[in-house]
Every structure is written in structure tokens, then in C-alpha cells.
Structure 1
């Protein structure tokens, strides 16, 4: 946590681009969210096993090791994590995947990131 503000919830960011992942984490931590990060889908599943279920997963699609699509498929088969909302964060023109609650298109405005997270994570 970078501020002393109360936590608003936890968010898992699964993104292979280190700069995007770090920027998103820093922005959300600055707004009072606890943030966990992973650089691919497999790592994201491992992180989920170690934390309380987050209020939201921000998920890139095109990643090495395990794609976002494969991560989402595995997530939806896990009873503890099945209800966690997932927002796809992508530069592609793809529509939301089955099991995802929406898309945040890259490049996105900071306000759009905050609004997306706030819609799923309330205090």
C-alpha cells in the first residue's frame, strides 16, 4: 500500500507487459486498493491460491505460458473463484469472452480504469 487510506478491496492484475502491470498496480494502490499481480495466466492461478478472492480480476488476453482465455476457463471451473468478476484488458477488437463481465480497451484513460474497478469493488 502506498497510502494510509483504508482498503477498498483487492484486485488481481494478470498482464504480461511489466510497464502496464506496474502502472495499473500503482494507480489502484494509490486509490486504496490492495493489488496482486501476475505476468501470465498460470502465475495468476497460483497467486489466487495464495490470497483471499479479489473483488475483480483485470485480465490481459495475449500472454506467454497461459493465455487470458485459458486462465478464464480455469477460473470459472474453480468453485471459490467462479463468482469473481473478470474484465478483459486488451488492445484487440475482441468482444468479451464468455465468463467475463466486460472489456477495458488499451490504451485506456485512467478514469476508465478507476470507473471499471469501482463498479465491481465497493467498500
Structure 2
């Protein structure tokens, strides 16, 4: 199963979400800013099944990551779930879903299952 790329600058949120997903059997790669996320995507042997992306981050923010993803044919179709406490004037274009912080973990897990499938350990 392809990994999930979790891009979140808040270590506590990143750790909680990663722990939840790993506990469900998913492979999770964490990045603390957009620059790390883009470097991972450039070097990864396979694309993630889903990107969980915070918008407000240092170095390279989520808006810039989205723009760079959508400018590359190889990454154009990757589903992105935006996670943010901010309320943008408009929902980001070309995203699979927008999840407000504090994150509803059941909602997030449902989205992960939709885009990455169930893990072998999960019942049908």
C-alpha cells in the first residue's frame, strides 16, 4: 500500500495523526513544512495515496505546495486533504476535502479510507 504524506508543522498534531493512522495499519511519512514535503515527493520511489496538508506553515506553506503539485503532471492527480484552523475566503481549488482544526479524527480516517483503501487488518 502506498504511504500517506502528512505535512504539518505542529509536532503534536503531526504525531497524533500519524499515530492514529499507523495504528490503523497505514504507512505514514511526516514532513514539518512544504519544503520537506516537496523534497520527499521528488525523491520518493512511489507517490503517496494521499497528502494531508496543513496550509499555514513556515518555509513553504500549503498554498505553495498545492501550486507546485498542480504544476507537475506526475503529481497533478494526487488527492490532497487540506487541514487548517484558518478559514480561507474560498476553499482551495483541486483538493479532495477540507478538514477544519481541531481535527475530527473519525472524519479524517474516513477520508483516508476513501483515498487509500482499507488496510489488510481492517474488517470490511
TM-score (norm 1): 0.88
Deviation at 1:90, TM superposition (A): 0.4
Matching residue of 2:26: 33
> Does residue 55 of the first structure (1) align with residue 56 of the second (2)?
no
2:85 is aligned with 1:91:
yes
Gaps of 5+ in 1: 1-6
Tell me the distance in 1 between the aligned counterparts of 2:25 and 2:75: 22
Alpha-carbon separation, structure 2, partners of 1:78 and 1:34? 24
Q: Is the 8 A contact 2:83 2:103 kept in 1?
A: no
Q: Give the counterpart of 1:109 among 104, 107, 114.
A: 104
8 A Cα contact 1:88 1:96, kept in partner? no
User: Are positions 1:121 and 2:116 aligned together?
Assistant: yes
- Structure 1 stretches of 4+ with a deviation exceeding 6 A read none
Residue 66 of structure 1 pairs with residue 60 of structure 2: yes
Please list every run of 5 or more consecutive structure 2 residues that lacks an aligned counterpart in the other structure.
119-124
Matched residues, number: 116
Q: 1:56, 1:120 within 8 Å by CA — same for their partners in 2?
A: yes
Which deviations, in whole Å up to 9, do the C-alpha atoms of 1:17-40 show, x marking residues without a partner? 011011111110111111011111
Contact 2:5-2:51 within 8 A present in 1 as well: yes
| TM-align CA RMSD | 1.3
